[in-house]
Structure 1
Amino acid sequence: MIRSAVLGLMLAAGAAAAQEGEILIVPPEEDGTLIEPERLPDGSLLEPDLDLDFVPDMQEPEEPQVTAITAGGAVVRGLDRMSGAVVDMQLATGETAGFGRLQITLGECRYPEGNPSGDAWAYLVIRSEREEVPLFEGWMIASSPALNAMDHARYDVWLLRCRISETAGGDG
């Protein structure tokens, strides 16, 4: 009953506004009463003062520049799902190591300057012994191995860290 009365009032207000050339849709309050729009003394509707040319001065936050150091090698871990064997391989840049039926070649390993034990990323090419086309070719990230992972039914391979030269404090 109340809903039909409110709807009737809304329709009547809309019809009156349509006769004046304006269409006015006014949502009801929670208790069902209508909100009356603000009007000027001459009876016209009060238009909000909007500055459509206003653009806030929003500067993009500057991201800190990270300088990457190229390491002489990397430590890569392999998992054979069939046997459960886990093998850590220490590869020098350009070196290829065998793991099961896979050939893993390290292209390059990099880590952030000032944080050698932090994140590392390495370019790896992984091939099956039987195929010429690589199973995986790209960058792997130590902190996010699933971000760019090798997809193989039997083997998992992921980067652990870069190998730091002996002059920088040992083999990391």
Structure 2
Amino acid sequence: MIRLAALILTLLAAPVLASDQVTSGAGALLRGLDKVSGQTEDFRVGNGETAEIYGLDVALGDCRYPVENPTGDAFAYLTIWEHGQRQALFDGWMIASSPALSALDHSRYDVWVIRCMTP
């Protein structure tokens, strides 16, 4: 567990080291996938807001991106749980350029970060 945390911190620091400045966007563009129907849909979620994506509730804590590369290296803090449930299925940082690194583990739905909303 400690090794996983160290790996995640190292990878999150990589965009920061590659750029001098990291800033927060107003929200994030997320993509949801229903694995049964194959349907995908994009959702905009503001910082501090919760959106319903298929049968999941997705709360966005913050979306950050390097000033020099706002579309490729975005990372967002998400909390995801099934609608009407209390226990989180996912709670952590999700990276747009490496969605499989820290991914939601759900049998039917998938959610990942596309980019931060920038001015």
TM-score (norm 2): 0.81
Bigger strand share: 2
**Partner in structure 2 of residue 104 of structure 1:** 58
Amino acid at match of 1:146: A
TM-score (norm 1): 0.57
Amino acid at match of 2:73: D
How far apart are residue 118 of structure 1 and its match?
A: 2.5
Q: Decide whether aligned partners of structure 1 residues 113 and 154 sit closer, same or farther in structure 2, where only a CA change above 3 A counts.
A: same
Q: Decide whether aligned partners of structure 1 residues 64 and 144 sit closer, same or farther in structure 2, where only a CA change above 3 A counts.
A: closer
How far apart are residue 130 of structure 1 and its match?
A: 3.6
**Partner in structure 2 of residue 117 of structure 1:** 71
- Any runs of at least 4 consecutive aligned residues in structure 1 with deviations exceeding 2 A, and if so which? 63-66
From the CA coordinates, give the structure whose radius of gyration is larger: 1
1:107-142 deviations in whole A, cap 9, x for unaligned? 100000222222100000101114201000000000
Pick from 116, 122, 126 the counterpart of residue 80 of structure 2.
Answer: 126
How far apart are residue 89 of structure 1 and its match?
A: 0.3
**Partner in structure 1 of residue 26 of structure 2:** 72
Q: How many residues align?
A: 103
Pick from 94, 103, 106 the counterpart of residue 149 of structure 1.
Answer: 103
Where structure 2 has 5 or more consecutive residues not aligned to the other structure, the ranges are: 1-16
Give the RMSD, CA atoms, in angstroms: 1.3
Q: Which has the higher contact order (CA 8 A, sep 6+)?
A: 2
Percent identity, aligned pairs only, is: 50
Where structure 1 has 5 or more consecutive residues not aligned to the other structure, the ranges are: 1-62, 166-172
Q: Decide whether aligned partners of structure 1 residues 81 and 65 sit closer, same or farther in structure 2, where only a CA change above 3 A counts.
A: closer
